[in-house]
């Protein structure tokens, strides 16, 4: 017998009860609960079912409340009301078997989700360097080596500073080339002495002004880039090394081209 048919049978039994204000209120609340349940308005259905249960504690109403929770995927609450139904109902064996099957299914689902969350937590702990098999042990997982060692941090800073310096020098050289090109154009227009006649005076002055600006920019960038390169080299050479590495050092080298300096060590 389906749940809907059982509900209709219960409704017919209720209709046969002696008419009273309480019986009418119980019947109306139960019918409103059934109507809301059919339209999948489970929260409203549950509210009406519980109102009817307060008026007359029929065990089947607890089954209905559990159904609303199950269909809303609220497993914990569904189990509570299925168990209340099983405790209060001593008849309707078909419904008892159905309720017991739902309880077993929902509890298995909860256990599976708990195990999944436990495995996820273990995987995260391992990923961060704190391998812990027993998550119930006191204290948080061992802190992961989230930050780089100071030596590596300084090395990366030095490399970044050197890279910025090289890029800055490159841009400075471009501005220097632009300045020389502009001067050449001005000389072609006004002569080697950069003395322009009245016809070319304005254009010549503009070219000379642009050449000076480009030259100034080039000098500033070259100085800044060179300083960045030097600073990066100093930071790199003075950065502490790990015990298993050899510190970088400057050593003199003599060959057929003369004396020079070489950087030795592991980087």
The predicted pLDDT at position 38 comes to: 94
pLDDT of residue 141: 46
CA distances 73 to 20, 77, 222, Å, are 37, 9, 68
**β-bridge pairing 258-264 and 249-255:** antiparallel
Q: Please count the residues of the chain.
A: 267
In 3D space, the residue among 161, 183, 165 whose CA is nearest the CA of residue 239 turns out to be: 161
Residues 6+ apart with CB under 8 A from 227: 165
SS3 state of residue 250 = strand
Beta-bridge partners for 260: 253
CB neighbours of residue 55 within 10 Å: 17
Q: What is the pLDDT of residue 245?
A: 44
Residue 243 DSSP one-character state = T
**Could you list the mean pLDDT of each consecutive 10-residue stretch along the chain, which spans 267 residues?**
50 52 88 95 95 92 94 94 89 77 92 91 78 50 51 74 81 83 76 65 74 84 83 72 50 49 51
> Which stretches of 87-136 are assigned E, i.e. beta strand?
none
Q: What residues form DSSP beta bridges with 258?
A: 255
Quick one: pLDDT at residue 232? 73
253: DSSP letter? E
CA distance 218 to 73: 69
Residue 1: its pLDDT value, please? 44
Distance CA 172, CA 9 (A): 93
């Amino acid at each position: 017998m389906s749940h809907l048919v059982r509900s209709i049978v219960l409704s017919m039994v209720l209709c046969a009860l002696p008419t009273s204000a309480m019986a009418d209120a119980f019947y109306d609340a139960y019918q409103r609960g059934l109507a809301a349940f059919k339209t999948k308005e489970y929260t409203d259905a549950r509210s009406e079912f519980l109102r009817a249960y307060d008026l007359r504690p029929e065990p089947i109403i607890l089954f209905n409340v559990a159904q609303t929770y199950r269909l809303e995927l609220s497993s914990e609450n569904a189990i509570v009301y299925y168990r209340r139904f099983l405790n209060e109902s001593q008849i309707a064996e078909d419904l008892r078997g159905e309720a017991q099957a739902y309880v077993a299914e929902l509890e298995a689902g909860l256990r599976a989700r708990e195990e999944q969350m436990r495995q996820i937590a273990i995987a995260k702990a391992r990923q961060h360097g704190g391998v812990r098999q027993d998550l119930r042990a006191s204290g948080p997982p061992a802190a992961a080596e989230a930050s780089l060692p100071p030596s590596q941090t300084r090395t990366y800073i030095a490399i970044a500073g050197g890279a910025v310096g090289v890029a800055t020098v490159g841009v400075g050289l471009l501005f220097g080339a632009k300045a020389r090109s502009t001067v050449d154009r001005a000389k072609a227009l006004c002569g080697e002495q950069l003395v322009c006649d009245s016809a070319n005076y304005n254009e010549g002055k503009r070219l000379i002004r642009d050449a000076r600006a480009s030259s100034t920019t080039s000098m500033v960038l070259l100085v800044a880039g060179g300083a960045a390169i030097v600073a990066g080299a100093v930071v790199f050479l003075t950065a502490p090394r790990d015990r298993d590495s050899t510190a970088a050092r400057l050593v003199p080298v003599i060959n057929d081209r003369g004396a020079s300096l070489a950087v030795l060590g592991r980087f």
